[in-house]
Amino acid sequence: MSVLTRQAVAEMIGTAILVFFGVGSAVFGFDAIGPVGVALTFGLVLLALVYGMGPVTGAHLNPAVTLGVLIRKGIDVRDAVAFWVAQLVGGVVGAAVIQLLLGAGGAADHTGHKGTNNWGSTVNLTGTVVLEIVLTCVLVLTVLLTTAPSAPPGFAGLAIGLVLTAIHLVGIPLDGTSVNPARSLGPALFEGGSALAHVWVFLLAPLVGGALAAVLVPVLRPGDSSDGSDGRDGRDGRDGRDGRDGADGADSADGADSADGARGAVSDGGRRPGGARAHPTAPGGRR
């Protein structure tokens, strides 16, 4: 299995986990845990996935995050496309497990709409577009800033998990909170109706927010370059392409520095030997 294939599979599994636990907490437990419990579920699951899967894939688990990293030159187009496909498939897989429990499992749907995102009763279309752009921008901006070389090491996962929790506390009463096209697509496919007809907003608006965040990074932190030092973790030739180009990638025989950098994203805050930092949003240690 190639490095990119392994990373894509991990992104699919991670996204499926995020959707199943996050959306599932609303579908199966909203009456018991309420919006705060759902928000905490999303945040805690993402926090765990960032630290657990970060060294393997970067734990994007969100097409909007991948787009932000792509714009910041932390990932190339080929890898980004593979991640997008894997994330969308993962969202469908997570939603399929929820559907299985609702159907064959006899579980009750506490949301009445399989945890889908929508607008109408509490916010209109314009409000939904603005909300999703702003909330996704905050999420992706947090990801990009906390994983930059100048950011304090070891806190990215905690910050990302907490901000996703806060985002859901704001968004759940309005449109259910998407900020992630993969999270919205899967449930909408199984729910159908207006949720599926309206899902385009939850596919496009988060991508706009992710792109906006990438544009804002150099404005807020001009000292962080966008030439790969804050994202590619070896894509510029220092550490190789994760072993795919025969250089010093994490999977090559002599890729100790790159492998240590990937593991360091969790074990010591992402500091690589010599002080360079493994970006927590890039594949193979480029998180």
Instruction: Output the average pLDDT for the chain.
Output: 83
Angstrom CA distances, 196 to 93, 190, 260, 262, stand at 16, 8, 44, 38
DSSP 224: S
pLDDT tens sequence across 103-137 = 999 999 999 999 999 998 899 999 999 999 999 99
Burial degree of 185 (CB within 10 A; 0-12, 13-18, 19+): buried
| 162/157 Cα distance (integer angstroms) | 9
pLDDT at 165 over 90: yes
Long-range contacts of 197-203 (CB under 8 A, 24+ apart): 198/117, 198/118, 198/119, 199/116, 199/117, 201/119, 201/125, 201/128, 201/129, 201/132, 202/117, 202/132, 202/175, 202/178
Confidence bin at 225 (pLDDT 50/70/90): low
Q: What distance in Å separates the CA atoms of residue 201 and residue 130, rounded to the nearest whole number?
A: 10
pLDDT of residue 247: 39
In angstroms, the CA 55 to CA 44 distance is 18
| 8 Å CB contact between 205 and 136 | yes
Q: Produce one character per residue of 216-233: b if its CB has 16 or more CB atoms within 10 Å, e if not.
A: bbeeeeeebebebbbbbb
Tokens of 231: 């994202």
Token output for 205: 């608006």
Q: Give the closest residue to 7 by CA, choosing from 48, 47, 58.
A: 58
How much is the pTM?
0.80
3-state secondary structure at position 217: helix
**Start-end of H helices in the chain:** 3-57, 63-71, 77-103, 125-146, 156-171, 181-191, 193-197, 199-220, 256-267
Instruction: Look up the CATH number of domain 3-220.
Output: 1.20.1080.10
Q: What percent of the chain has pLDDT over 90?
A: 70
User: Token match 């090491």: residue?
Assistant: 153
Q: How many CA atoms lie within 13 A of 265 on its CB side?
A: 34
Bigger pLDDT: 245 vs 276: 245
